[in-house]
Amino acid sequence: MRVVTNEKFIQRNAKIGRYASLLSIVILGTGVYLTFARPEWVTFTFALLIAGFLLSQVGIYFGNRWAKLPRIDTQITAALKGMGRSYTLYHYATPASHLLVGPGGVFVIVSRFQRGRITYQKGKWRQHGGLLLWYWRIFAQEGIGRPDLEIKTEVEAVDKLLRENLPEEDYEALQPIKAVLVFTHPEVQIEADDAPVPTVKIGDLKAAIKRLAKNTRLTAEQLKRIRAALGDEGKRKEKDASET
C-alpha cells in the first residue's frame, strides 16, 4: 500500500497545539494569581480565566489530532497494512482528512478518539461516561460532536473534486463514494448498528473496507486518473508500507 502524507500540515498543527497549551497554562496561572493578589480586578481576572480555558480547548483539539502519539494517521496506516499495492492512502492531502483509493473504490475515513461507551440512537451520537465524561471534556478531549455531518461534508467535497476532474465514465464507475467512521481509542465500546455508515474500532477497519469494496472493481487506468484528479503528483512525502 502506498501512503501519501502531508507532513507539513501535521507539523504545523502539532505546533499550534503545543503553543496553545503552553499559553493557556500561563494565562490560567496568571488568572489564578490575580484572583488572590488583586481581588478588585475581578472582571479582568474572570476574562483571563475564560480566555485560558478556551485556549486550553484549542490545545486539546490540535494536540489530540496531530501531536499525541500514536498519531491518528499512523494508526490508520497500521490498521490498513496489507491492503495491496494497488491501494493509495492519503492523509491530510485531499479534501478528506483520510482517504483510501483502490480497486474497491474511494473510501472516506473519518476518525474519532473518544473513549467510553459510544451510542447512535434515533439519529444522535452520544458518549457515555458519567462524571468521568466531564473530566475528559475539560482536561483531555472534546465531545464526540457530529461525525455524521463531518462525513457528509468530506464525502461531498471529494465527490465534487472528482466529478469536476474525471471523465464521466470513470466518475460513474466509482460511485458511490463510501465512508467509514473509525474510533481509535483502545477503551471504546461502540453501539451503533443503526449508524448511517459502518462504525468500527481501529482493529476492524480493514475488514470493514473489504466488505464495502466487494461490489466495485476499478481498473489500473481508472485509478491512475482518479489519483491525478486528486492532485497526486508525487510532490508530497510518500512511503511504501510493506504487505503482510
What is the reported pLDDT for 233? 55
Residue 138, pLDDT > 70, answer no
Q: How many CB atoms lie within 10 A of CB 237?
A: 13
What is the reported pLDDT for 57? 86
What is the reported pLDDT for 123? 86
pLDDT digits (tens, 9 = 90+) for 54-109: 898 899 889 888 888 899 999 999 999 999 999 999 999 999 999 999 999 999 99
What is the reported pLDDT for 215? 87
| % of the chain exceeding 90 in pLDDT | 71
Q: What is the pTM for the complete model shown?
A: 0.85
Rounded Cα–Cα distance for residues 143 and 134 (Å): 9
Where do runs of H (alpha helix) occur along the chain? 7-37, 42-66, 72-79, 131-135, 147-165, 168-173, 205-212, 220-229
